[in-house]
């Protein structure tokens, strides 16, 4: 079991995790599985099959940005388990640019993958979530909550995830479905590997962070697991920063930074 987990907290429950081949998605899947969930992992990377096999989960390889992905994902989960209790919207892409340097293809790719695909998947899964008891947890970003130069399309899409969370919490609360999100800061994943090796990035982004380090994917997974559990039974419409304090405060870099 993952450190800090509670054995059996998700016993009898089925979770669908997107973008689960690696990083936050894989860590979340492992955490939920360790606590008793049955899982379907989805990703466009074929490696998702190995990630799923390692934790006894089912997998589906597909492009989540395709128009058919949501219905295919819901059908696969229902075919494998007969129910869906938890949806974790994690799939997304990084590497955005300033708006002035963004052509239509780049804008469409980021908005389609990081926002529209999430709306479609959520819409397809929604009819199958239990009322009450369903959970939707999505991955936004601190870039969707604060202005950061050079990331316009990515940041706008992630801001959309944050607002989707608030909107669906309002719409689905009376039915007993809870909708929340996490907003990670800098996480040690394949997406940030190049940045973390850059001295300027470390000085500009990590050094001002109160905890002065990047997070492990498992640290984000722990918050997602909380939001998906009964421990969060009176929490909805929230976008929780998992960012080492970056949104709340800035430290001046030390001379050695």
Give tens-digit pLDDT for 135-165.
999 999 999 999 888 889 999 999 999 999 9
Q: Is the pLDDT score of 182 beyond 60?
A: yes
Q: How confident is the model at residue 114 (pLDDT cuts 50, 70, 90)?
A: very high
| Percent residues over pLDDT 70 in the chain | 94
Q: What integer pLDDT is reported at residue 1 of this predicted model?
A: 37
The per-residue pLDDT for 203 is: 74
Considering only CA atoms, which of 10, 5, 1, 21 is closest in space to residue 64? 21
CA 247, CA 162: separation in Å to the nearest integer? 15
Half-sphere exposure of 188 (CA within 13 A, CB side): 9
The count of other CB atoms within 10 Å of the CB of residue 55 is 17
Taking residues 56-80, what's their average pLDDT? Answer: 97
Lowest mean pLDDT among 67-76, 79-88, 242-251: 242-251
Name the average pLDDT for the chain. Answer: 92
pLDDT, residue 249, reads 86
Q: What is the DSSP letter of 71?
A: H
Indicate the range of 11-20, 181-190, 219-228 predicted with least confidence.
Answer: 181-190
Average pLDDT over residues 46-57: 98
As a whole number, mean pLDDT of residues 108-132 equals 97
Which residues belong to the active site? 154
Structure confidence at residue 2 (pLDDT): 43
Q: What is the pLDDT of residue 47?
A: 97
Note the pLDDT of residue 12.
Answer: 96
pLDDT on residue 137: 99
pLDDT, mean of residues 118-124:
98
- Domains contained in the chain, CATH given: 14-241 (3.40.50.720)
* Strand-pair partners of 241: 183
184 phi and psi angles, rounded to 5 deg: -70, 150
């Amino acid at each position: 079991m993952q450190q800090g987990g509670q054995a059996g907290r998700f016993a009898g429950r089925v979770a669908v995790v997107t973008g689960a081949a690696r990083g936050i998605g894989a860590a979340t899947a492992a955490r939920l599985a360790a606590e008793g969930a049955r899982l379907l992992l989805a990703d466009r990377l074929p490696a998702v099959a190995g990630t799923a096999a390692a934790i006894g989960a089912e997998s589906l390889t597909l492009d989540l940005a395709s128009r058919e992905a949501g219905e295919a994902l819901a059908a696969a989960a229902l075919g494998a388990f007969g129910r869906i209790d938890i949806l974790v919207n994690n799939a997304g892409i990084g590497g955005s640019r300033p708006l002035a340097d963004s052509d239509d293809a780049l804008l469409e790719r980021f908005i389609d993958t990081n926002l529209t695909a999430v709306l479609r998947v959520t819409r397809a899964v929604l009819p199958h979530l239990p009322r009450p008891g369903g959970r939707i947890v999505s991955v936004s970003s601190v870039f969707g909550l604060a202005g950061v130069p050079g990331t316009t399309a990515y940041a706008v899409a992630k801001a959309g995830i944050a607002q989707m969370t608030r909107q669906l919490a309002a719409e689905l609360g009376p039915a007993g479905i809870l909708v929340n999100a996490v907003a990670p800061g800098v996480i040690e994943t394949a997406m940030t590997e190049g940045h973390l090796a850059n001295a300027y990035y470390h000085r500009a982004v990590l050094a001002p962070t109160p905890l002065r380090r990047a997070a492990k994917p498992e640290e984000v997974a722990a918050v997602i697991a909380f939001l998906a559990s009964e421990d969060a039974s009176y929490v909805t419409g929230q976008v929780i920063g998992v960012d080492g304090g970056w949104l709340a405060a800035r430290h001046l870099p030390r001379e050695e930074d």
